[in-house]
């Protein structure tokens, strides 16, 4: 029996929406149901546009538009965060979570309007459904947000429009519409928050660790857009251009980003970082351990490239070899989650900055490492790296780190959430590091029974769920801060739902799965 994978994917997302709705049950959760219904209709229009070549930009081939799962991430995330902040009595972050929810809904509606605007003939039924959902969301926005919060939502929408035009034009075939919504929408929100806090330094408060990520994201964005536009008019592979690239990067970091960051943390960032790292011996031991694992990962890359040179030119890394890096990342993150989450937070942001910089060097062929990185990383390309950028390793880092970066510390008493919430920081490790790795390895080597309409196997999904349950038991043994109480059935159900999403989605699972598991565990 042939089953449409998009239908199953949308059904799983609807199940997650209903779980959030039952836990929250307010105006915004009703709007999320309306949003997922209109996103389902709009996704068919986007898929038809992609198949016919009628989309304005070039999107990633061999994948559907992904509108349904991507549209619901920010709204559901805001709803789950609001529930926790409301329970802890943190009014400021409760309002902030409402802004996240409405912003996600507005971005999804904007993407829907684009699809409906360029579809011919005009899809009347879909327009009516989108109009009803949009009216409900706008009415709820008017009833629940203040004028300043509405302006904040509109600011994010404006940044998203311009940033989408730049990113999709400069980077064809790198994203599906859903992935573009999720990534560019998230960057737009971060940019707006950083600008807002920069203009109100008197109100800046909280942990200095939380300001590293926004500054790194904005700095990487400025660097990438500037040189992408510049190298449209000049050659990037000669030594003069390479020296200019390195010089401008140093100017950006030393002259703009570090002084900018010092405004938030109240000290020069390098001195603060040295004091932070050398606070105790445990942190130095963790850093030494992570340096060792980085060396191991580098050796794996060099060894695989040596095998390719000595063998066939068409040799590509197998699925099992790619999952070595998942295991290395699990070995990196688990000790950090158990012993020092703040250090892991800062280290993962620094790793993101390094990854983005090296990708710029590879993409622009900046000497002396640009061509070498191209040769080394070509071996690990898969069908998702169809554009000019290689993003798989960055998605892996984001998937493991996002639950740590998004953890609602101000809404968690003593930094710990009760029940299933204790596993929230482990969502990336469970969904990507354990679940996706086990599903891929067992599915590709031992799987025989395939899920209808997809290449994924039932054996892979079953072993994925089983492995994640075992991982939860291991975390309970080694992390004394986790107290699941009587939430075992909810945890198993959440893991199973996300495993089904992994089996049927054609989007970047390293990015999508941890976010959905994070949302479910947060309830």
Instruction: Give the pLDDT confidence score for residue 312 in this predicted structure.
Output: 55
- 41 found inside a domain: yes
Residue % of the chain over a pLDDT of 90: 46
Q: Which of 434-466 are b and which e, b meaning 16 or more Cβ less than 10 Å from the residue's Cβ?
A: bbbbbbbbbbbeebeeebebeebbebbbbbbbe
Residue 218 is predicted with a pLDDT of 92
CA angle 114, 33, 7 (to 5 degrees): 70
pLDDT in tens, 507-517: 888 999 999 99
Contact 105, 70 (CB under 8 A): no
**What pLDDT is recorded for position 191?**
93
Close Cβ partners of 331 (under 8 Å, ≥ 6 residues apart): 293
67 in a domain, yes or no?
yes
Instruction: State pLDDT tens for residues 180-209.
Output: 999 999 999 999 999 988 888 767 676 788
Domain presence at residue 196: yes
Q: What is the pTM of this model?
A: 0.94
When pLDDT is cut at 50, 70 and 90, the band that residue 386 belongs to is confident
The percentage of the chain sitting over the pLDDT mark of 70, rounded to a whole number, equals 96
Q: CA–CA separation, 391 vs 397, rounded Å?
A: 10
The reply to whether 110 falls in a domain is yes
- Angstrom distance (rounded) from CA 118 to CA 393: 34
- CA-to-CA distance for 40 and 91, rounded, in angstroms? 34
How far, in Å, CA of 368 to CA of 295, rounded? Answer: 20
Confidence of residue 35 (pLDDT cuts 50, 70, 90): very high
Question: Would you state the structure tokens that stand for residue 239, as one six-digit string?
Answer: 């030594």
CB crowding 406-429: b at 16 or more within 10 Å, else e: bbbbbbbeeeebebbbbbbbbbbb
Segment 223-274, tens digit of pLDDT: 988 888 888 877 878 888 889 999 999 999 999 999 999 988 888 899 999 9
SS3 state at 314: coil
Cα(298)–Cα(121) distance, integer angstroms: 53
Q: 339 and 285 in contact (C-beta within 8 Å)?
A: no
Q: What is the DSSP letter of 174?
A: S
The predicted model gives 366-395 an average pLDDT of 82
* Model pLDDT, residue 326: 85
Q: What is the pLDDT of residue 318?
A: 65
Cβ atoms of 437 and 326 within 8 Å: the answer is yes
- The predicted-structure confidence for 140-176, as pLDDT tens digits, reads as follows 998 999 999 999 999 999 999 999 988 888 888 888 8
pLDDT band at 371 (very low <50, low <70, confident <90, very high): confident
In a domain, 88, yes or no: yes
How far apart are alpha carbons 307 and 315 in whole angstroms? 8
* pLDDT the model gives residue 322: 75
Bridge partners for 450 per DSSP: 457
- Mean model confidence pLDDT for the chain: 87
pLDDT at 64 over 60: yes
Tokens of 409: 């510390």
Q: What does each C-alpha distance from 146 to 83, 95, 97, 141, 156 come to in angstroms? A: 19, 10, 13, 9, 16
pLDDT at 317: 65
Range of the domain at 42: 1-203
CA-to-CA distance for 99 and 80, rounded, in angstroms?
Answer: 13
Residue 485 burial class via C-beta count within 10 angstroms: exposed 0-12, middle 13-18, buried 19 and up: exposed
How would residue 313 be classed by pLDDT, with cut points 50, 70 and 90? low
Phi, psi dihedral angles at 309 (to 5 degrees): -65, -35
Tokens 């040799």 -> residue = 315
Residue 10 lies in a domain: yes
Interval 477-498: pLDDT, tens: 998 888 887 788 999 999 999 9
* Of residues 258 and 321, more confidently modeled: 258
| The pLDDT of residue 300 | 82
Helix (H) or strand (E) holding 309: helix 281-310
Distance of CA 390 to the CA centre of its chain: 15
pLDDT of residue 498: 94
Q: What is the per-residue pLDDT for 314?
A: 53
In a domain, 288, yes or no: no
Q: How far is the C-alpha of 313 from the C-alpha of 302, rounded, in Å?
A: 15
Q: Would you state the structure tokens that stand for residue 414, as one six-digit string? A: 């003593």
Find the length of the chain.
523
Question: Tokens for 366?
Answer: 């900046």
Q: What's the pLDDT band for 117 if we cut at 50, 70, 90?
A: confident
The residue that leads in pLDDT, 157 or 326, is 157
Q: Give the per-residue pLDDT at 69.
A: 93
- Tally of domains within the chain: 1
Q: What is the mean pLDDT of residues 13-35?
A: 91
* Rounded-to-integer distance, Cα 19 and Cα 11, Å: 12
What is d(CA 176, CA 498) in angstroms, rounded to the nearest whole number? 20
Contact 32, 79 (CB under 8 A): yes
d(CA 399, CA 437): 13
> For 171-280, where are the alpha helices, taking DSSP H only?
177-199, 212-230, 239-252, 258-265, 269-277
Residue 47 located in a structural domain: yes
Q: How many Cβ atoms from other residues are within 10 Å of residue 281's Cβ? A: 8
């Amino acid at each position: 029996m042939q089953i449409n994978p998009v239908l199953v994917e949308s059904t799983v997302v609807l199940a997650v929406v209903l779980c959030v709705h039952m836990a929250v049950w307010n105006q915004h959760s009703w709007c999320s149901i309306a949003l997922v219904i209109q996103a389902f209709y709009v996704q068919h229009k986007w898929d038809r546009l992609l198949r016919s070549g009628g989309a304005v930009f070039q999107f990633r081939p061999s994948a559907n538009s992904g509108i349904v799962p991507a549209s619901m991430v920010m709204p559901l995330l805001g709803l789950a965060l609001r529930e926790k902040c409301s329970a802890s009595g943190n009014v400021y972050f409760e309002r902030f979570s409402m802004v996240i929810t409405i912003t996600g809904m507005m971005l999804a509606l904007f993407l829907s309007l684009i699809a409906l605007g360029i579809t011919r003939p005009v899809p009347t039924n879909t327009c009516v459904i989108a109009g009803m959902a949009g009216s409900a969301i706008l009415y709820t926005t008017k009833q629940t947000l203040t004028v300043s919060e509405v302006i904040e939502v509109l600011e994010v929408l404006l940044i998203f429009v311009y940033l989408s035009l730049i990113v999709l034009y400069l980077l064809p075939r790198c994203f599906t519409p859903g992935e573009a919504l999720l990534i560019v929408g998230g960057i737009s929100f971060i940019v707006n928050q950083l600008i807002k806090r920069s203009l109100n330094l008197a109100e800046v408060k909280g942990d200095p660790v939380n300001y590293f990520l926004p500054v790194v994201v904005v700095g990487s964005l400025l660097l990438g857009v500037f040189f992408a536009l510049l190298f449209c008019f000049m050659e990037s592979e000669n030594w003069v251009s390479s020296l200019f690239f390195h010089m401008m990067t140093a100017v950006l970091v030393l002259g703009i980003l570090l002084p900018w960051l010092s405004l938030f943390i109240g000290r020069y960032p390098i001195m603060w970082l040295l004091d932070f790292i050398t606070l105790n011996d445990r942190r130095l031991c963790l850093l030494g351990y992570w340096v060792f694992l980085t060396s191991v990962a580098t050796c794996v890359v060099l060894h695989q490239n040596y095998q390719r040179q000595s063998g066939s030119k068409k040799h590509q890394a197998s699925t099992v070899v790619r999952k070595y890096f998942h295991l290395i990342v699990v070995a990196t993150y688990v000790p950090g989650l158990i012993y020092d989450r703040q250090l892991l937070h800062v280290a993962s942001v620094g790793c993101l900055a390094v990854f983005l910089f090296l990708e710029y060097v590879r993409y622009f062929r900046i000497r002396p490492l640009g061509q070498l990185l191209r040769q080394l990383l070509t071996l690990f390309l898969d069908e998702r790296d169809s554009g000019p950028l290689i993003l798989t390793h960055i998605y892996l880092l984001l998937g493991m780190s996002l639950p740590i970066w998004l953890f609602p510390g101000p809404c968690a008493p003593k930094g710990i959430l009760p029940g299933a919430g204790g596993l929230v920081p482990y969502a990336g490790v469970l969904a990507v590091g354990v679940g996706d790795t086990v599903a891929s390895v067992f599915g590709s080597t031992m799987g025989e029974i395939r899920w209808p309409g997809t290449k994924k196997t039932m054996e892979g999904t079953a072993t994925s769920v089983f492995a994640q349950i075992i991982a939860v038991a291991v975390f309970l043994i080694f992390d004394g801060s986790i107290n699941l109480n009587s939430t075992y059935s909810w945890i198993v159900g959440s893991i199973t739902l996300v495993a089904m999403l992994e089996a049927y989605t054609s989007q970047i699972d390293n990015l999508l799965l941890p976010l959905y598991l994070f949302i479910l565990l947060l309830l």
